[in-house]
Chain A
Amino acid sequence: MKEILFRLENVWKTYKMMGKGIETHALRGVSVDVKKGEYVAIIGPSGSGKSTLMHVMGCLDTPNKGNVYVDGKETSVLSEDDLAKIRRRKIGFVFQSYNLIQGLTAAENVALPMRLDGVGKKEAIKRAERYLLRVGLEHRLTHKPNQMSGGEQQRVAIARSLINDPEAILGDEPTGNLDTKSGLSVIKLLEELHVKEKKTVVIVTHDSRLAARADREIHIKDGNIDQDRTNHNNSHSH
């Protein structure tokens, strides 16, 4: 049996609306385990709580109730800076809107998490260039985000998510802003990382065809897990 990377126990996330006492429950007591090396798709309608689930899993957000364990460690006892360290070292995020820093070049953007980890500029940039080569962007090293296509920007974001050699890559609708072709190549890149480098890959999507490519589909509805099923006979399974 494989080690568990993310464990959520009865996780609640509630947003209080300003002014009136209206509460939105984005997550209503979710419990789920993600094992190391798994390729998981989180699927569900808009507003069902997919992003929130991924944020809580990735220590970007903290639950109001329940426990989150990353690599066996309970996160509720960790400081804000400790959580930042987990995001920096164990997790790589890929967002729908890429979230690159506009003023920085592709290589500088990719180098960022490494520099935040205290590595010098030269070394980090060298490593960043290797990862840009890895995602097929060796010709875009000194380009700024606004000089690149959406697909290219998302590849830069993937290179950035990889630079500190994290355990897992969490992608929140990583193909949401892309056309079918570049979307598919981004998904294939993530799948390659899963197969070749045994990365844990968690993707949020509302596209059932994309979800079907994963080893496991977690269906979310109204802040709860509606269905959790394993896709056998999948080409990516090992």
Chain B
Amino acid sequence: MLDLAVKDLKEHKVRTVLTTLGVIIAITAIVSLGSISAGINDMVSEGISMVGSDIIFVMKSFDMSEMSGPPTSMQLESIKEDEIQEISGIFGVKRVVPIISKMMGGFFGEIDGIDMNELDIWGASDIQFKEGYWPDNDDEGIAIGYPISQFFDVGIGDYIVLNKKDVEVYGIFEESSGAYDMAAILPYSYAEDIYDMEGEATMLVVEPEDISMVEDIKNAIEEDYDDLDAMTMADAMAMAQEMTATLNIMTFGIGGVASLVAAIGIIITMYTSVLERRREIGILKAVGAVRWVVLKQILEESIIMSLFGSLVGVGISFFFVDMLNNVLLGGSNLALITPALAIGAVSYGVIITVIFSLYPAWIAVKTDPIDAIRNG
């Protein structure tokens, strides 16, 4: 209001820049981490709406304690042909689709071999193509997510290597196909050849006759087969929620520490500023400034720094998230800065700053003008 705040900030450039930097770091940490949870939440809900809520995934259970080597070398045991047959016979089961699912080497993606006529069971039949088309069941080809094509720099007719075999790219999905951004889908029979898994599966997708039977089928499978885990979409949702909760805790933890550091910076800077501006504050009071005006002088200064810092922090986060999505994840939308996240972070930055500036501001309000303007 009196232009004194801006003048003071300009006068102490180094201090202003360092303090603002603290705010920038805190907000960048919060928004960048928060964007990953937001992206996962978004992807899961999108995935569930695509797949439908009534299917059950069946996999071999694995014991963490028996795991050896790094997670990337982890290979689940496969489900054998006779087990697949038996599960098809469980009461209430409409169909069972075996899937050969593998991790993609060198990329955060997944390879799925599935009967091309059964794609609808998890909504994959709705995928739009950017280029090309689905391979048929007797084709030796694969359809891949756009980010994967970018990452391996392949187009239609090029080859990607799966288990040391060259596989021709038949189709590339539309950008932003949600969970399918990270998927490479090929005919089940071709996957049997490539991975030498005749009649086997790493995962079964089980569709019940009716949604009311989901829990019964899950229980039947887990009771009959000690070595199998059945996961309903409700379980998947709970898992995703657990994961985002963990991420949120991380965000709060790291963001909290960064905020605390930034807040200490603000307190020290504002306190120093109040001490330095003591005479100025005394003059203001002597010539008739009411308490609110004095308070505003100090808060104005900290609000300018925090607003600027928070906005820059959000801007940098956009840059980080873009890098994460496009460079590290080859064009996926895993991390997502929602408007709520951006606005929330800026408000948080400003509010926390105001709170931490209240003490220095109070010191300013309490300044005795006579003491502050005393001669000499």
Contact = CB atoms under 8 A, between A and B. Distances in A.
A101 B375 CA distance: 14
B286 A93 contact: yes
Given A84-B290, A113-B287, A97 B280 contact: no
Interface in B1-53: 1-4, 7-8, 11
A198 interface: no
Nearest to B2: A115
A34 to B, nearest CB: 19
A85 B283 contact: no
Interface residues of B, number: 26
B69 interface: no
B291 A103 contact: no
A95 B4 CA distance: 22
A160 B287 contact: yes
Contacts of A80: 290-291
A86 to B, nearest CB: 8
Nearest to A92: B287
A97 B375 contact: yes
A177 to B, nearest CB: 9
A103 B3 CA distance: 10
Interface in B251-302: 279-280, 282-293
A113 B288 contact: yes
A112 B280 CA distance: 12
Contacts of A117: 288
B8 A97 contact: no
Contacts of B373: 95, 97, 99
B211 interface: no
A112 B7 contact: no
B291 A61 contact: no
Contact of B286 (A85, A87, A102): A87
Contact of B290 (A81, A100, A101): A81
A96 interface: yes
Nearest to A97: B375
A84 B282 CA distance: 12
A85 B288 contact: yes
Contact of B4 (A55, A103, A113): A103
A116 B287 contact: yes
Size bracket of the A interface: 20 to 34
Nearest to B287: A113
Contacts of A60: 286, 369-370
B7 A103 contact: yes
A93 B287 contact: yes
A117 B284 CA distance: 12
A97 B4 CA distance: 21
B376 interface: yes
Nearest to A111: B2
A112 B291 contact: no
B293 A116 contact: yes
A97 B288 contact: no
Contacts of B369: 60
Interface in A99-124: 99-104, 108, 112-113, 115-117
Interface string B333-376: 00000000000000000000000000000000000011001011
A67 to B, nearest CB: 20
A88 B288 CA distance: 4
Nearest to A82: B290
Contacts of B1: 115
Contacts of A85: 288, 290
A45 B269 CA distance: 42
A73 B205 CA distance: 88
Which one of B286, B293, B373, B376 has the highest number of Cβ atoms from chain A below 10 Å of its Cβ? B286
A89 interface: yes
Nearest to B280: A101
A157 B190 CA distance: 92
B291 A116 contact: no
A116 B297 CA distance: 12
A87 B288 contact: yes
A97 B11 CA distance: 23
Nearest to A176: B375
Given A61-B370, A95-B373, A84 B7 contact: no
Contacts of B370: 55, 60-61
B288 A101 contact: no
Contacts of A164: 288
5 smallest CB-CB distances across A and B, nearest first, come from A88-B288, A81-B290, A87-B288, A103-B7, A113-B287
29 contacts: A60-B286, A60-B370, A84-B285, A84-B290, A85-B288, A85-B290, A86-B288, A93-B286, A93-B287, A97-B375, A97-B376, A101-B283, A101-B284, A103-B7, A103-B11, A104-B3, A104-B4, A104-B7, A108-B3, A112-B2, A112-B284, A112-B287, A113-B288, A116-B284, A116-B288, A116-B289, A116-B290, A117-B288, A160-B287
Interface of B: 1-4, 7-8, 11, 279-280, 282-293, 369-370, 373, 375-376
Interface of A: 55, 60-61, 80-81, 84-89, 93, 95-97, 99-104, 108, 112-113, 115-117, 160, 164, 176
